[in-house]
Amino acid sequence: MPKHIASGLKFLAAVKLKEKGKSQQYIADELNMDRSTVSHYLNGRNLSGNSIDVAKTITELLPKDFLLMAQSLFQETEQCRKIVNICKEKQYKGNVEETCIGCGLCVNMCFMNAIELESLKAQIDSDYCCGCELCKEECPTNSIEILEI
């Protein structure tokens, strides 16, 4: 079953990428799939509707729960990162207050590699932030705020 749900997430990702006008070849490379499988997916074949429903439900969970589910469904980190980034329901942006001490704990915590230290202050990249708020939970000075865009 987990594999079916993972495939369901890949299906959702493929559809989203298609909506953005990406080619089937690009989608296949990005999601590490055969081009023919992508073609089947996009034409509604070879995947049970139930798997897609479950996958859809997962993406609609709280961002942190979605991330944890995705992490357990995909063994490969880079793949998981891509799926989460493509399938996330909303866009997020992170505000870092001046109280940031530059300890780098958030950088280490962020599964999405969305945070960098710049001049001893954390900078959160909206393109990669998945809204899980793990960084906010760990921040020793409560300097991070994650907002939906």
Q: Which residues of this chain interact with another protein, rule CB under 8 A? A: 98-105, 107-109, 113, 117, 119-121, 140-141
For residue 93, with 0-12 CB atoms within 10 Å meaning exposed, 13-18 middle and 19 or more buried, which class applies? middle
Least distance from C-beta 5 to another protein, angstroms? Answer: 25
Least distance from C-beta 2 to another protein, angstroms? Answer: 24
Identify which of residues 25 and 99 has a Cβ nearer to another protein in the complex.
99
Least distance from C-beta 141 to another protein, angstroms? Answer: 6
Query: Quick one: which of 121, 120, 144 has its CA closest to 133?
Result: 144
Identify which of residues 52 and 96 has a Cβ nearer to another protein in the complex.
96
Identify which of residues 38 and 106 has a Cβ nearer to another protein in the complex.
106
* Strands 121-124, 115-118: pairing kind: antiparallel
